[in-house]
Structure 1
């Protein structure tokens, strides 16, 4: 029986509203179900020049109809001491009554324009502070914490400042007493790293500050995965292991989604993996957008009553929802 992932008929569920900090785009949301509500954290911008994103917040009773929490972002680059920068792509878990938000961080401003070719044009020429970095557009990753899901504080960085390292995602519980983190360092390529292309790596920590030597977890294998893959969502625990959604980009710059399963007790081991994509752009809002076309980019999957709510960015412009029976998705990986 083929896997069925149903895209919500009223997608996009969140889109630019024409007035506040998400005037131009709202996409790549982190989400979590807590205390009877779905909490969603979007990446939003009010202009393309400069293209500077912050993280906002929505809440919902049913996971489909969301309302904003306040009229200001809940996490910004100013909170890190970088007023020109951007924070983006929140991924949120709750461990021992503390909310943890993985986020990506670009320290300085830039302009972003659509090209119609699948890759946006990024211009840093007006922003001289990029000269301080090893190369323009470098992206670092960090963790912010909150006790209520609304008020956030930066805790630590989870990657060094001299490499591009994003798609960080914490596991929602400790494993053998340690935090576990997925990451995608673009610079970990070559004979010394055991891979000729950027892939997904895994690392552990007792305190979130000192991390073990990263171990290569997975790299692109199929043509649709292209030359790099990265974690899409925080893993969720199932009866057969840790379910991880990931993204791949093919040679035509089409973003698709795959899934893999990690061993319950040893998540450094991949025990099952999809051969074909489980999601790809099919709808108008996934094929046409303000910045980049042909993109489905999940950054969260929330399980409730056996159903996975997949929240994803559409063309760096709006937010879509897809649902799937978790058991069906898991079983499909072992039957693929």
Structure 2
């Protein structure tokens, strides 16, 4: 099974408005009628490396143009003027747009090292220490909009005291409740049933109060997902189960992509899984970037005429598109007995 990268990749690159001048990546994408809307994560600079969510639109899902001359969602809107909002995953339920996002509340710098992982520097921004917050901690939440453009904060989906991101809301209620996938970094050890951060599931009746998360999946193949896994994009409902792309990170911090199939009525139950990655860094724009090398990081997937459109961040620098027939992707799963 092989994904096809679009011939015009990367389809979205930095530039234009000042607030997206340095990097654009990890987009949420939704289709409304015949139009595609992309919620890109964008940065103006590396020092500070402050990101916001911008909005692009397209008629074909490939050629995107800006909708507005300013971001549609920022940390300032949450009361954190120096912070960053990140990695939008967007669904539409009962006519409303819900955006899952990650929040880093205060400023930090990103310094490419030339040797692989960048160095992040929050130390000379005193807000972290003044507010007694662990440097670089990330909290997740949901913003809501009636038109997909004007968002307001609905509530947080994770506690402030733990690092919990990669939140992805299911596109419909399950058993009368909203459901969300999470990745709490501190939920590791004998008490939690996993030695590495994994994918967890919580439910809510109102999107404000969430159940204690239950473990869904952990890393199984140390070769390519040995340090952590997390939900990549919004779950896709199929007649066989919920199809969930996820990212796995190896010991060298290379990001690859796998797929899970979750039970339709009980999405804490894994009924299928790819044994090998379905996507890994291959092209230049996936192996070398402004910030982080060797990264393919899907944050959006749509099914159009039987084909899965996968939108993904490349090295925290630009955005790519890959496609695969849905039936071919489902056939690649090894089903649990």
Q: TM-score range by the shorter chain?
A: over 0.9
Contact 1:20 1:46 in 2 (8 A): yes
1:137 corresponds in structure 2 to 136
1:255 corresponds in structure 2 to 255
Question: 3-state SS of the aligned residue for 1:316?
Answer: coil
1:83 corresponds in structure 2 to 81
Contact 2:254 2:295 in 1 (8 A): yes
Q: Does structure 1 residue 192 correspond to structure 2 residue 191? A: yes
1:207 corresponds in structure 2 to 206
Contact 1:20 1:71 in 2 (8 A): no
Deviations 1:71-94 (A, max 9, x none): 100000110011000000000000
1:294 corresponds in structure 2 to 294
Shift of 1:261: 0.1
2:33 corresponds in structure 1 to 35
1:308 corresponds in structure 2 to 308
Structure 1: distance between partners of 2:80 and 2:285: 33
Structure 2: distance between partners of 1:25 and 1:100: 24
Segment of structure 1 superposing worse, 171-180 or 19-28: 19-28
Shift of 1:134: 3.6
Return 5+ residue gaps in structure 2 as ranges.
Answer: none
Contact 1:118 1:254 in 2 (8 A): no
Contact 2:17 2:69 in 1 (8 A): no
Q: Does structure 1 residue 284 correspond to structure 2 residue 284? A: yes
Shift of 1:170: 0.3
Question: 3-state SS of the aligned residue for 1:191?
Answer: coil
Shift of 1:239: 1.4
Q: Does structure 1 residue 113 correspond to structure 2 residue 117? A: no
Shift of 1:194: 1.3
Contact 2:262 2:269 in 1 (8 A): yes
Structure 1: distance between partners of 2:17 and 2:72: 17
Shift of 1:313: 0.3
Shift of 1:18: 5.0
Deviations 1:117-161 (A, max 9, x none): 331110012200001244100000000001111110010000111
Question: 3-state SS of the aligned residue for 1:207?
Answer: coil
Structure 1's consecutive aligned runs of 4 or more residues displaced over 6 angstroms after TM superposition are none
Structure 2: distance between partners of 1:27 and 1:152: 20
2:45 corresponds in structure 1 to 47
Contact 2:52 2:74 in 1 (8 A): yes
TM-score of the superposed pair, with normalisation by structure 2: 0.97
Deviations 1:136-192 (A, max 9, x none): 000000000011111100100001111100000000000111000000000111111
Structure 2: distance between partners of 1:167 and 1:145: 18
Contact 1:29 1:42 in 2 (8 A): yes
TM-score of the superposed pair, with normalisation by structure 1: 0.97
Structure 1: distance between partners of 2:225 and 2:194: 15
2:20 corresponds in structure 1 to 22
Length, aligned pairs only? 334
Question: 3-state SS of the aligned residue for 2:301?
Answer: strand
1:265 corresponds in structure 2 to 265
Return 5+ residue gaps in structure 1 as ranges.
Answer: none
Residues 154, 243 of structure 1: alpha-carbon distance in 2 compared, 3 angstrom cutoff? same
